[in-house]
Amino acid sequence: MLGLVVTEALYRTHPDLSEGRLAKLRAAVVNARALAEVGRAIRLGEHVKLGRGEESTGGRNKASILSDTVEAVIGAVHLSGGGIDTSSAVVHRLFDPLIEAASAMGAGLDWKTSLQELSAEHALGVPEYVIADTGPDHQKTFTAQVRVGDRLYGNGTGRSKKEAEQAAAETAYGEIASQLGVTDPAETAAEAAAGNAAAGKSGTGPSGS
């Protein structure tokens, strides 16, 4: 249900985007991390029944639990008799801000994929992630760097390997893009659109002259 509503919303809002770009947008909205943030925003963790083990290890704020519970709530709304119209309204209310934010993120939609594309475009080699962890098994902190060619770039931390890798890819992308003098095309387009909108409002554009 979540995937259906978000996919349709993205297609209707951005009919000019390529299939690949739309797929990135969808992945940025429909993933465990994004769902967990939605769960935190509506304080869903306060209403989850947990066993003693999860309760004692911070389960009410755990991304995996929150993301699963958000999906369960949407499913419950859909199956409780509200049907697609009601469940769609709930999804829009919870996820439209994420959709709007993702549309302006550029390379940040998926830093690992963007870094891989940047590396391939400039023949730098395939990014490889170097991971280390600290802390007990139930509360580990992961750190990551990215090896591109013969150099290490970036520095990321997170509660999971995936989160640390994304954070490392973000900083590595910035470092490498700066060295190459590369600007994210999506960010350039967004800046141009914002400039055009500002010009239109001020009446300095062709229509206001």
Over residues 106-113, the mean pLDDT reads: 71
pLDDT at 187 over 50: no
Q: Let me know: does 130 contact 146? Beta carbons within 8 Å.
A: yes
Could you please state the CATH topology (level 3) that the domain comprising 111-184 is classified under: Double Stranded RNA Binding Domain (3.30.160)
**Could you tell me the pLDDT band of residue 201, with boundaries at 50, 70 and 90?**
very low
pLDDT at 44 over 90: yes
pLDDT at 104 over 60: yes
Over residues 185-193, the mean pLDDT reads: 41
Q: What is the per-residue pLDDT for 105?
A: 63
Extents of the domains making up the chain: 1-108, 111-184
**pLDDT tens for residues 46-58?**
999 999 888 888 8
Could you please state the CATH topology (level 3) that the domain comprising 1-108 is classified under: Ribonuclease iii, N-terminal Endonuclease Domain; Chain A (1.10.1520)
Q: What is the per-residue pLDDT for 185?
A: 46
Which are the contacts of 209, defined by CB distance < 8 A and separation ≥ 6?
A: 203
The residue that leads in pLDDT, 38 or 204, is 38
Helix (H, G, I), strand (E, B) or coil at 160: coil
DSSP state of 49: -
Q: What is the per-residue pLDDT for 133?
A: 94
- The CA distance from 182 to 203, in Å, is 32
* 169-173 contact pairs (CB < 8 A, 24+): 169/111, 169/112, 169/114, 169/115, 169/127, 170/108, 170/111, 172/115, 172/127, 172/145, 172/146, 172/148, 173/107, 173/111, 173/114, 173/115, 173/118
